[in-house]
Structure 1
Amino acid sequence: MTTLKLLALDEEDLQVVSSQLQDAVVRVGDMTYLPSQNRFAAIVNRFDWQSAGGDDNRYRRLRTALRFDRVLAARHKGLAPGNKDRVLSLLAISFEAGESPSGKVVLYFSGDATVQLDVECIEAEMRDLGIAWRTQNRPEHPSEAEADTKGPSGEGANGPEAAGA
């Protein structure tokens, strides 16, 4: 098994990290902001899109660490930090430029939840931790027409998987 380690130091790098983490599932309790260290960190269960192309339905998830350094502030929307067991599906990570090189990193989750990080600059790392397991579930993305019928979160019968899936 090959583990993946990516560093992001600019917006293009962050897009690569975002694509690798699309459909990762994370418990709210597995995300934290450490203001004294200017760091945001999370442990997620990443869907391995690279090995999902075969016809044998051998899908897998990997335990993956994600961290952002040089974080000045963190805000969230649609999350109840006290609900530590709530599972979210990570849809994308984006960067909204401010006065160069600062800006906002935004993590978009299912259920219209977001985490916004005010950063001095982009400095992120994604690292597989070596723990992997098989899953029968492959994340599905509804067509635009289907998404319109499911409401603003885009969730319907195929909402985010359980954290252990």
Structure 2
Amino acid sequence: MDSLKLIALDETDLAVISACFQDAVFKTGDIAFLGKDKTFTLEGNRFVWEEGKDRKTFERRRSVLAVKQVQTVRSRGIDLKDAGTVHSLLAVTFAAGEEAPAGAIELILSGDAVIRLDVDCIEVQFADIGGGWETKFKPRHPVAS
């Protein structure tokens, strides 16, 4: 499979990146905010959803999400002092602010944790940065009834 390289400049694009990065696992230490550059990065091991559903083995790849034009970063449910804590990404969403195109990008994590990025606009890059490896475990989500 070819490596993914995507860019999001609107909510529709961001939804595609969210789907690709869903169920990525990462450690708190994989998060960085470069305030001078207004860039937030998160490196994680994503599940390769695009490879199909009916397989006996699956794949994960090392990937990076880079969010540009970030003014502030806030989090809930994350101990930033514990670099080794593992998190699972559920979704990447955008909430428009009072003055377009500004708003907030939220990284929704398992365990009711959230990383909120106040941004001037949606400018997100996503790329696989390493080769894939096999896994027998496919993420599962309970279906709401």
CA distance in 2, matches of 1:107, 1:5: 19
CA distance in 2, matches of 1:59, 1:77: 31
TM-score, with normalisation over the residues of structure 2? 0.96
Q: Does 1:74 align with 2:73?
A: yes
Match of 2:44 in 1: 44
Q: Which moved more, 1:6-15 or 1:44-53?
A: 44-53
CA distance in 2, matches of 1:116, 1:25: 18
Q: Superposition RMSD on alpha carbons, in Å? A: 1.0
Give the aligned length: 144
Over the matched positions of the two proteins, sequence identity in percent amounts to 41
Contact 2:75–2:115 under 8 Å retained in 1:
yes
Code of the residue aligned with 1:27 in structure 2: it is K
CA distance in 1, matches of 2:143, 2:68: 35
TM-score, with normalisation over the residues of structure 1? 0.85
The structure where strand makes up a greater share of residues is 2
Q: Residues 21-47 of structure 1: CA distance to partner in whole angstroms, max 9, x if unpaired?
A: 110111111011111110100111010
Unaligned residue ranges in structure 1 (runs of 5+): 146-165
1:143, distance to aligned residue in structure 2 (A): 2.2
Code of the residue aligned with 1:87 in structure 2: it is V
- SS state at 1:36 partner: coil
Code of the residue aligned with 1:135 in structure 2: it is T
Contact 1:52–1:58 under 8 Å retained in 2:
no
Q: Residues 41-97 of structure 1: CA distance to partner in whole angstroms, max 9, x if unpaired?
A: 011101001114233x12010000110000000000000001111111100010000
CA distance in 2, matches of 1:53, 1:141: 14
Mapping 1:57-96, distance limit 5 Å? 57-96=56-95
Match of 1:139 in 2: 139
Contact 2:92–2:105 under 8 Å retained in 1:
yes
CA distance in 1, matches of 2:3, 2:26: 19
- SS state at 1:138 partner: coil
Code of the residue aligned with 2:88 in structure 1: it is S
